[in-house]
Amino acid sequence: MVLVKCPNGKEKFDVPKFLRVLLVKPKGRKGLGFAADVIPIGLEYIAASIEKEVDYVHIIDMDFKKHPFQHFLTIFHCI
């Protein structure tokens, strides 16, 4: 957060707008072990709630990826 001095003389905290958001479900943990837990629904809820506030939101489920996380982070930076 950044403290901004407004034209009316008041100060307020300005929260920066994130233009691109990458949500990652780490490899390994399966939650409670239910079959439905394979889908990262929690991340989908977050993505749905912020999609109008950002330019781009993407979810990566590392359980189904063969490349290391750094590979996807590099691609994400190039978008």
pLDDT of residue 72: 84
**Residue with token string 């189904």:** 64
Report the SS3 class of residue 16: coil
What confidence tens digit (pLDDT) does each residue in 27-52 have? Answer: 876 555 555 556 668 899 999 999 88
pLDDT above 90 for 13: no
pLDDT of residue 44: 92
**Residue with token string 């905290």:** 13
CB-based contacts of 28, cutoff 8 Å, min separation 6: 63
